[in-house]
A and B are shown apart, each in its own frame.
Chain A
Amino acid sequence: MTSPVRPDAAAALAGSGAEAAKVQPIKSDEDVVRVRQLVRTLAVAARLSLVDQTKLVTAASELARNTLVHGGGGEAQVELVNKGLRAGVRATFVDDGQGIADIELALTDGYTTGRGLGLGLSGARRLVDGFELDSKPGGGTRVMIVKWAR
């Protein structure tokens, strides 16, 4: 697993990065599993409860699969973040794929363009504390999720 320093990754809306983001490329099924493992490791480090760990890892799994299936591959940047005394985990999924034409529609339960149930994006959003989706047709997709320790 590589962990290059990404100076740009720390700046975002959900707290400040406690350390450099760990980057996991997403190019295969195995990589989706690796993203889950990486997110799990950091969720444990942030002392998320078992249920919150499970929710975060599940959301990450949905988004990593989206990156692979819809985005044609990309990467996940996962990092520990802090807000005051609260620790959390932020995961950002980035691809250079076709992008999402109608974000509102894509976030609707049951809407699917692929082989899934259409619960990936909408379900992932329900499982985390912070969710941001940035995408335009032809311009790739970037989804950021955050989960805080209680």
Chain B
Amino acid sequence: MERIPVLKIGDMLLVSIQVDLEDQSAVQLQEDLAERIVATGAHGVIIDITGLEIVDSFIGRMLASIASISRVLDAQTVVVGMRPAVAITLVELGLSLRGVRTALDVERGMQLLKRDRPARTTDLNGGGAAAGVPAGERPAFHSGPPAGGPP
């Protein structure tokens, strides 16, 4: 079984899957990532799947659970680099990857995470005050993407 390396860049973790992924490697990656998020205090995880020729239901489920696990550990996950043919196949397969954020490439994924993080902090600080205010009346700095968790 091949182990997928997890790299730390600033306060983000980067995983680039370059091999044809075995199920067991995917499960291992899930565990490795959870440990590294806690060990490093990373707030963002980027999973680059440029190298993946297919994403079937197992790998899709693995990506979704990595996103959920990171969220619970206070980190956002962005899956980047999905090939067009993989996207088409995934949707036809019936997998929408709901709850998984995506970006076209690593750079855009990083921008997404950086943009989110300040909004997140603001939300946490002002969360109590904003809770009772209808979405439309909230100050502009609260109207960014949700801080995580379902809307």
Contact = CB atoms under 8 A, between A and B. Distances in A.
A-B complex is real: yes
Interface of A: 29-30, 32-33, 36-37, 40, 50-51, 53-55, 57-58, 61-62, 65, 109, 116-117, 119-120, 122-124, 126-127
Interface residues of B, number: 25
Contact of A58 (B23, B24, B25, B89): B89
Interface in B3-27: 20-25
B95 A51 contact: no
Interface of B: 1, 20-25, 53-58, 60-61, 83-86, 88-89, 92-95
Contacts of B61: 116-117
Given A32-B22, A51-B89, A57 B53 contact: yes
A27 B93 CA distance: 25
Nearest to B19: A33
B24 A50 contact: no
B89 A127 contact: yes
Contacts, number: 75
Contacts of B92: 55, 123, 126-127
A54 B1 CA distance: 23
Contacts of B56: 58, 61-62, 65
Given A29-B1, A32-B22, A109-B94, A54 B85 contact: yes
Contact of A119 (B22, B85, B88, B93): B93
B14 to A, nearest CB: 23
A37 B53 CA distance: 10
A130 to B, nearest CB: 16
Nearest to A54: B85
B23 A29 contact: yes
Given A54-B88, A55-B89, A58-B89, A116 B20 contact: no
A51 B94 contact: no
